Amino acid sequence: MKTVSAAAYDSELLRLSTVGSVDDGKSTLIGKLLFDTKQIMEDQLAAVERASKAQGADYVNLALLTDGLRAEREQGITIDVAYRYFSTPRRRFIIADTPGHVQYTRNMATGASSANVALILVDVRKGISEQSRRHALIASLLGVPRFVICINKMDLVDFNMDKYEEVRQAFVEFATRLNVTDMVFIPLSALYGDNIVKRSPRMPWYDGPSLLYYLENVYIAGDRNLIAPRFPVQYVIRPFSNQHHDYRAYAGEVQSGVFRVGDEIMVLPSGFKSKIKAIDSWNGPLDSAFPFMSVAFRLEDDLDVSRGDMICRPNNQPNVGQTLDAMLCWLDETPMQPGKKYFIKHTTKTAKALVETLRYRLEINSLSRTEATSLSLNDVGRVVIRTTTPLFYDPYLRNRYTGSFILIDEASHHTCAAGMIRW
């Protein structure tokens, strides 16, 4: 059998998401980072140069590296989430370049949902906009553990330290009401590359790291929950062939914790127990599995297991219930109305759900709680949801994967909201 170390499997892969208001320089920052780390192919650079000339620019617009849709290039904005992959000798990276426009907030939430680091860009001339606050709040609710506040366009204020300090202090004051403990501030110019790969000599008053140095060295191995084993069953593998007529396995992705061959497990909701007989993967059997490996478990006993069930440890079980206290980010143009029925998608389980109560809505600028009767597009609020069947969940702050869900409109099948379970 093959043995893979959990640390070696994923500790050197860092997921980061750029968030912030429109025109704060998110795509330009990523383009410059890719260019300066020599991650751009010659044909890609040539295509960007042609597109820049077609737009009438007298410089190579590196933002076009991530703005891949035709509408994005024509309008000079980011609409969809653009994922880019690159690596350095120290670490591998996945970057999610998310849109800044209010109407594409749902795409921003998608890109930030699995990030280890949120790069929050702020235009030093404009300060913290409402959309920057909204993105920071959503990233905080999504449990992104680290914020890097990139105070951008320092070249347009002559690299003035006082301007930087003014914006930094304003963000610190706002962030005191967010659930964020790890924040780093970096003044930079995405257009000219100051403090992106190397420390800039044009800002001698700044004594912190460059952006790339921080990303290469920040510790992320503790981000994954290796304590609470959770395996939502996605599919039952039962081949109909004479060669494999006795084969039965339960496939899915390990959401948290570590499973090993010989471990005693429990299947929810039945509560029946068994032991892991074997762990199969795409390239052969394994001794253990951990987040976020896609594997199939074979058990020693024949149990009734189906999609939506949860495999866990008998002495470490998730909560089981039909009433959820959760924070919602409303993502649909049709407002949320308490009492309306929706589908809820949680791990691999789909059920019907009812929004029983809207407790309050959060004001984006002040983060104060206000009474409300509904949630509109891009609103954030606290609700109580009742489901038709029990869900197997953990509080979101303890487990981002079993503590999250989405609501789906019964008629249109639009994704209406992203939810984070409080307890």
pLDDT value, residue 191: 86
Residues 62 and 15 in one domain: yes
Q: Which residues pair with 328 in a beta bridge?
A: 381, 419
Distances (CA, A) of 283 to 9, 32, 144, 176, 290: 15, 37, 32, 47, 16
Residues 193 and 149 in one domain: yes
Residues 165 and 306 in one domain: no
Is 359 part of any domain? yes
pLDDT value, residue 3: 52
Residues 31 and 146 in one domain: yes
Residues 365 and 417 in one domain: yes
Residues 44 and 86 in one domain: yes
pLDDT for residue 6 is more than 70: no
Least confident of 72-76, 192-196, 199-203: 72-76
Residue 301, domain CATH: 2.40.30.10
- The sign one gets for the Cα dihedral 28, 139, 388, 359 is negative
Q: How confident is the model at residue 296 (pLDDT cuts 50, 70, 90)?
A: very high
- Number of domains present in the structure of the chain: 3
Q: How confident is the model at residue 71 (pLDDT cuts 50, 70, 90)?
A: very low
Q: How confident is the model at residue 387 (pLDDT cuts 50, 70, 90)?
A: very high
Query: What's the angle, vertex CA 137, arms to CA 108 and CA 118, rounded to 5?
Result: 55
* Domain residue limits at 275: 231-312
> Hey, what amino acid is at 86?
F
pLDDT value, residue 157: 96
**What is the model's pTM?**
0.79
Q: How confident is the model at residue 181 (pLDDT cuts 50, 70, 90)?
A: confident
Residues 73 and 32 in one domain: yes
Residues 93 and 67 in one domain: yes
Is 1 part of any domain? no
Residue-wise pLDDT tens digits, 119-145? 999 999 999 988 888 888 888 888 888
Is 202 part of any domain? yes
pLDDT for residue 64 is more than 70: no
pLDDT value, residue 103: 56
Last residue within a domain, chosen from 198, 223, 248: 223
pLDDT value, residue 60: 62
Across residues 155-177, what is the average pLDDT? 94
Last residue within a domain, chosen from 312, 334, 355: 312
Following DSSP, what letter does each residue of 300-365 receive, concatenated?
SS-----TT-EEEBTTB--EEEEEEEEEEEE--SSPB-TT-EEEEEETTEEEEEEEEEEEEEE-TT
Exposure of 160 by Cβ count < 10 A (0-12 exposed, 13-18 middle, 19+ buried)? Answer: middle
Last residue within a domain, chosen from 249, 281, 312: 312
Contacts of residue 311, defined as CB under 8 A and 6 or more positions apart, other chains included, come to: 229, 230, 231, 232, 233, 250, 259, 265, 266, 267, 268, 297, 305
Residues 143 and 254 in one domain: no
Residues 45 and 173 in one domain: yes
More confident residue, 54 or 356: 356
Is 92 part of any domain? yes
